[in-house]
């Protein structure tokens, strides 16, 4: 698959929020505006890319030669935690205000299932290291797109007239479901027609 195809697949077709329902706690439970969600999405995109590339090296350089593929999931989790810790420290040194702007979500980003799912998907799809890196970034962008869209909807719903029964999480899950239906329009046949 071409790199443009990988970007389209992980951003639109296999969007981690709308097709796999991963990372939904971020926009349902966590308060915050759309700008904060964009910042978090960029951070997750960077961490997912780095984690996917490092896991590719660990899997192909260590686990597969030792026939220890069963250790893939613990390895992904450990690498995700390590990459997030380094990324958090590096970001804090460069821009101390960024982690304050992102709040508690930034500290808990290592536990985000999006990062783990993308790293596992890159290994299971038998991507090269560069394809894994691109897939991680594209999945992070897909998460950012979904998070931004749903945060924008939530801001509108907070000032709108929503029946009391549907206020809060119920209306957000309904909105997410409707957006997931809209994202189903992007399919592999469309991808083949666009990029071959």
Q: For residue range 167-183, what is the model confidence (pLDDT) as tens digits?
A: 877 888 888 888 888 88
For the beta carbon of residue 142, count every other beta carbon within 10 angstroms: 30
Q: Where are the domains of the chain?
A: 3-21+35-156
Q: What distance in Å separates the CA atoms of residue 29 and residue 31, rounded to the nearest whole number?
A: 7
Confidence of residue 60 (pLDDT cuts 50, 70, 90): very high
Please say whether the beta carbons of 181 and 54 come within 8 A.
no
Confidence of residue 100 (pLDDT cuts 50, 70, 90): low
Confidence of residue 29 (pLDDT cuts 50, 70, 90): low
Residue 107: closest CA among 40, 53, 35, 46:
40
Please say whether the beta carbons of 138 and 67 come within 8 A.
no
Could you read off the pLDDT of 124-142 as tens digits, one per residue? 888 899 998 998 889 888 8
pLDDT at 107: 46
Q: DSSP string covering 11-52, please?
A: IIIT-TTTTT--SHHHHHTS---HHHHHHHHHHHHHHHHHHH
Range list of β-strands (E), the chain = none
């Amino acid at each position: 698959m071409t790199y443009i195809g990988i970007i389209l697949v992980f951003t639109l077709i296999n969007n981690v929020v709308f097709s796999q329902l991963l990372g939904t706690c971020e926009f349902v439970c966590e308060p915050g505006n759309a700008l904060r969600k964009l910042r978090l999405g960029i951070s997750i995109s960077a961490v997912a890319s780095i984690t996917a590339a490092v896991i590719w090296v660990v899997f192909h350089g260590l686990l597969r030669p030792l026939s220890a593929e069963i250790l893939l999931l613990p390895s992904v989790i450990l690498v995700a935690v390590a990459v997030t810790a380094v990324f958090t420290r590096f970001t804090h040194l460069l821009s101390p205000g960024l982690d304050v702007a992102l709040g508690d979500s930034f500290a808990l980003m290592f536990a985000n299932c999006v990062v783990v799912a993308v790293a596992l998907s890159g290994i299971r799809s038998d991507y090269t290291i560069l394809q894994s890196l691109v897939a991680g970034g594209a999945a992070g962008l897909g998460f950012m797109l979904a998070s931004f869209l749903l945060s924008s909807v939530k801001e509108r719903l907070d000032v709108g007239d929503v029946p009391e029964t549907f206020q809060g999480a119920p209306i957000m899950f309904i909105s997410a479901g409707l957006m997931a239906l809209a994202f189903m329009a992007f399919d592999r046949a469309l991808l083949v027609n666009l990029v071959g």
